[in-house]
Each structure stands twice: as structure tokens, then as C-alpha cells.
Amino acid sequence: MTDMATAASGQAGRLRQQAVDQLLQDGFITCTDVEKAMRTVPREQFAPGAELEEVYAPYDAVITKTDEYGVAVSSVSAPQIQAMMLEQAQLQPGHRVLEIGSGGYNAALISEIVGDAGEVTTVDIDAEVTDRARRFLAGAGYPQVRVVCADADDGVPQYGLYDRIIVTAGAWDIPPGWADNLAEGGRLVVPLRIRNLTRSIAFTKAAGHLAGSDPQVCGFVPMQGSGEHAETLVLVNGTEEIGLRFDDETPADPRLLDNAVRTARVEVWTGVTVAPQELIGTLQLYLATTLPGFCTMAVDPDLDTGLVAPNNPRFSLAAVEGGNFAYLVTRRTPENDVEYGVHAFGPEGEVFAAAVAEHVQAWGREQRGGPGPHIDAYPADTPDGQLPSRHVITKRYSRITFSWPEPDTAQSQDHPIRGQGE
């Protein structure tokens, strides 16, 4: 090895240990096996050409392929996301594991954890990605990992059943093949798109359905092939200035919104305040699963005329009802906390703003600081009466239910709207 190569290897090793130390300190790594794997596998060998500081940035992905429009279609996920999902999977030595969405590095981490008695298969629809993964895995010392080029909508049944399936692409649905490939009692970890939000969820196969828990905020390159799903964009007032994005149910008649912004803007403040560093993942998920007409709003900065005034023009939580739409805003309080409010437009804007505000207030009273919902996935033909919750998102293959904890009545009466962080 040349002096230059030796120096680079030494720097990579130091940065690798620093990244793991940071993730341990921040609580994203708690499992010894995950820590050992991340300290061992040379991540830089799976992202050649990237600067080492970029490769080992704990919270940043490394883009490895883009399409003709410059949109990322393949990446090495951020170390924090990989550690989080590996911990959700609860891998054990000897497990048979299928990874859906390849790149090589994550498969190497899995191989380190399951050991020689285990078995790892990684699959991707893109032959360029799988060729690269196969080459990188062999070069890094993991030639035993099986690399398959295929559309994984049906899983990879020829090598199953699997104790664990880990999906590393943003999935809109859970196709039957994934559950069929999973051993009874096995775990499926999948970044599932839920009305424009993505949550990594750990599902356990049991009694004809998938029982989920531990939803974690994440972001992934969308699934390609049979599992690809395009969101619906509704342009308010017929212009590209204001776009409402729907990932599941869409408005019955979007044209009713055309004149909404011609009405006066209604502003309502909820009294729900959060500390600047308080986590709000359950608020987002609560609104997405309980607020009818939920969507997200984006404003084109080049066309912005000030009709709406979101805090984040690229992404705001929003909702639609008939010819009305609303979105969430925030403001600083004298105590330097953040208070949530609602802006609404439309002929019943005042009533709709109050309804959206009540959902925020319900979260503040009943769900704030809690564990979040229990999430279950059932086949798409499951009748309502056999589902455990009325909060249901029906997709092509599955019905996803969200069972929020029942509020403690006594605590609800005494609980101030401003409370402890999650």
C-alpha cells in the first residue's frame, strides 16, 4: 500500500470511529452488534469518488446515481438511518435476511451481524446498481452476500423464507410477496409512505397480518418498478404558485379549490406550543392519519405572490375540505417557544380553520409525548369490521390502520397544552 493510500485508509478509519461515536452519543446506536458492524465495514469502499468527510457524515446520505433530471435514484443512506433500521430489525446471528434496495454497504453491515451462520440476499431493479454492489461487496470482503437483479415486488422467493426483510427504498405499499417471503414471527422493516410522510416501521408477521411498531422519521429514494407510485399534484387557483400534494386519497373535485384563495385568509392560533428542540413526529403522523383531506403544500418561490404565507414554502402540513384548504403555521412566543396556528381559505374558511386547530389541540392534550400509534397492515380486501381502528389508509395491496393510545382522562384534564418533549 502506498503512503498516500495508507494515509487515506487511516483517515477513513478515524472518521468511521468518530461517526459511530456520534451516533452512540445521540442515541441512534444502542445495540452492540450494530455498533461493531458500523465500526468494521469500510463505508468508503461503497462510495468511491466521494470525499471521506461526506462518506462519514453521520446524518447525510451519499448520492450514487441520478436520473436525466438530476433526481437521485440510488444512494448510500445516511449512517444514522442505517443504524436506526438495523436496530429496528433486531438482527441475530444465523438470521436469513433479504434486503430490498441495494448498494452493498448496508448488506455488508447485515452480513457482519448475522455472521457465517446467517445468509444475506440483496436485490435491486437496476442492473447498474447490482453490478456495482457485487463488485464493492467482493472488494470489501463480503463475497458471500447474494446479489440479485430483479423487480422485488414479489420479493425473492427462491431463497426464502427470511427471518428479516429490510427495505431501503421508499415504499408506498406493502405487496403480498413481502409478507409471503417472511417467516412467521419474522420482521419486516420498511420506510412506508403515509400521506406524504415517510416512516420506517418495524412489522412482525403474525396471525394473517403485519403488526407494526416504532415508526421513525426518515426519507428514502422512491421505489421503482411495480412498486412505483406517483403522488397527485393539485394546483390551487389553476397556477403553479401553490401546489397541494396528495399521496393517497385525492379530492373528489379539485376544481372547487380554484377560487379559494380569492377569499380572505383566516388565521387561528391553537395555544399549542412546543420547545424549539421538541420532536413533533407524532404531531405530523397524528394529523396525517386523523385529519380528513390531509396533504402537504409547497409554494414555487419564483411564482410566489404572497397569497399564502407558510413558514416553510417547500413543505407545509395542509388539508382540504370541499372548496376550502388550510395549512399550519408557527410563530415564536415571548418564552421563545413555537406556537402552532392555522391559515385557511374558502367559503367556510373560519369553520375549517377551527376544525384543523382542534386536531392540533387534540394532539397536544392526548398524544403529545406518547409512543405514537400502533400500526397494522392487513390485506386490501379486509372488511372494516375486522380492522382494529377507524383510522385506515387503503392502498393497492393493503389496508394500514393506526391505533392511537386512548388518552388518560385524569391526565387529559390536568395536562397543560405546553408539556414535556417526546
The residues annotated as belonging to the active site are 77
Gyration radius of the chain over CA positions: 23
Q: DSSP assignment, residue 371? A: -
Q: How far apart are CA 29 and CA 95, in angstroms?
A: 20
In this structure, the dihedral spanned by the alpha carbons of residues 164, 166, 167 and 171, taken in order and rounded to 10 degrees, is 60
Q: How far apart are CA 106 and CA 99, in angstroms?
A: 8
CA–CA distance from 422 to each of 83, 120, 183, 295, 350 (Å)? Answer: 20, 35, 34, 24, 31
Q: How far apart are CA 153 and CA 227, in angstroms?
A: 6
All three cell numbers of 336, joined, read 421563545
Cell 446520505 found at: 61
Contact call for residues 38 and 23 (beta carbons, < 8 A): yes
- DSSP letters of 238-275? GSSSEEEEESS---S-GGGGTTGGGSPPEEEEEEEEE-
Q: DSSP assignment, residue 405? A: P
